Amino acid sequence: MLHLDIQYSRGDFLLDAKLDWQSQVLGVLGPSGAGKSTLLNLLNGLLTPKSGLIQFNQQILFSSQQKVCLAPHQRRIGMVFQDIRLFPHLNLFENLCYGLRLLPAEQRRFSLDEVLDLLQLRDLLKRHPHQLSGGEAQRVALGRALLMSPQLLLLDEPLSSLDNALKQQIIPYLLAIKQRMNLPMIIVSHDEQEVSQIADQLISLAQGKIIQH
Amino acid sequence: MSFLFDITPAELQAIELSIKVAAYCALIITIPAIAIAWVLARKDFVGKSLLDGLVHIPMILPPVVPGFLLLTLFGKQGWLGAMLHQYLGISLAFTWLGAVLASAIMAFPLMVRSVRLSFSQIDQGLEQAASTLGASPSKTFMSISLPLALPGLLTGFILAFSRSLGEFGATITFVGNIEGETRTLPLAIYSYTQMPGGELIAMRLVILCVLISLLALVASNLCERWMLKRVGR
């Protein structure tokens, strides 16, 4: 499914990552500064590797040899950011439908109704992001990423900004996405206990290298 | 206070011309100011300091200098003025269109500064989020960056409008002080102060000038507050 063999450097930080991934949900563990978010940003195209190859489901996303580098908007890789990043000038309906509206009808995998019901967002649609609690904002960010029908969903520390009670509320939503939507996901966390509840396969990042568990 | 309402046709003409020139000025510089502000806020390139300097130089020059340069370039014998006249039949020197150009040159840096500040304050993470949701760079700009920069754009628009309303030095140098054609409010005030017994009329125009500017600023503040409330700031 995902074949990754890339080199990336910024200042003193070096990432030399090799990975072949076939399972549905991959958990990426590692301490702060290990390069977990960098790895996700290399996958979604917000950062560009120095060299190497990224291939997902036979599609080449990046190849230094073939001089291919798809822009983020061409990759169809959904991302839930650690700091959520809902658009403050749009209400939640507009936030949720942002990616959906950019997608041709025949490429839409999930309907708005399906996502609203799954994440229990129906009552929030007219609100603006600043009127939401942390857990609600996280669910909207998840819904927004799902509605752009990604071929792969990246979750960058989706639980780190939430307290324990909210974490326990969000985990069932992530499990529901995994079970009902058959969507490949990569979830990054520094907490093994958290991520192992969702992931089928775990890897760690340490000193810019991937270690298989 | 009744003297405020005894406006003569010549004064009304100056008021109307001022508002027309200021509105045209603010409108024609909006798109170039957005483009330059975005480039200055977001891009690093060789010559950025030079571009920044060129945009802002009218703010520090005596207004008569840009006015003289405009006259040299766009006068009937000027390099650009002669071409415009020959090929398009357009004359800018000593016409109200020239007053718009002079105002635009003087107001441009104010709008660029305001919009640039707005662009700089936008969290670039939001633009990244839009791109991962499938938005092309132009779609991201139109749907995320530009709406979030609207308060700054509006402030810049009002600043440019007000600056144009008060423009004197560049205008009188480039287009003169022709009643009905280029005599805007500041030029009319100047003319009446030079005329025996014109002080009362000059005072009336001064008060009207202050009122128009104040109205524009209040409208801008109200719009800005409404927009900021919408984004929860």
- A89 with B131: Cβ contact below 8 A: no
Cα(A204)–Cα(A189) distance, integer angstroms: 10
- Is pLDDT of A181 > 90? no
Cα(A79)–Cα(A99) distance, integer angstroms: 11
Identify the pLDDT of residue A167: 81
Query: Within a 10 A sphere around the Cβ of A85, how many other Cβ atoms?
Result: 22
- Is pLDDT of B177 > 90? yes
Question: DSSP per residue over A27-95, as a string?
Answer: EEE--TTSSHHHHHHHHHTSS--SEEEEEETTEEEEETTTTEE--HHHH-EEEE-TT----TTS-HHHH
- Is pLDDT of A200 > 70? yes
Give the pLDDT confidence of A36-89 residue by residue, as tens digits: 999 999 999 999 999 999 999 989 999 999 999 999 999 999 999 999 999 999
> Across chain A, what does the average pLDDT equal?
91
Identify the pLDDT of residue B29: 98
A150 to chain B: nearest residue by CA? Answer: B133
Q: How confident is the model at residue A208 (pLDDT cuts 50, 70, 90)?
A: confident
Cβ burial of A97 (10 Å; 0-12, 13-18, 19+) is middle
Domain boundaries, chain B: 8-230
Identify the pLDDT of residue B233: 63
Does the pTM surpass 0.80? The reply is: yes
A-B CB pairs within 8 A amount to 73
Q: Which amino acid is at B155?
A: T
Identify the pLDDT of residue A170: 83
What's the mean pLDDT in A129-143?
91
- Is pLDDT of B230 > 80? no
A186 Cβ contact partners less than 8 Å away, ≥ 6 residues apart? A21, A25, A26, A27, A28, A40, A43, A152, A153, A154, A155
Give the lowest-confidence range in A103-112, B104-113, B134-143: A103-112
Q: How far is B138 from chain A (nearest CA, A)?
A: 11
**Contact residues, chain B, for A145 at CB < 8 Å:** 132-133
What CATH code would you report for B8-230?
Answer: 1.10.3720.10
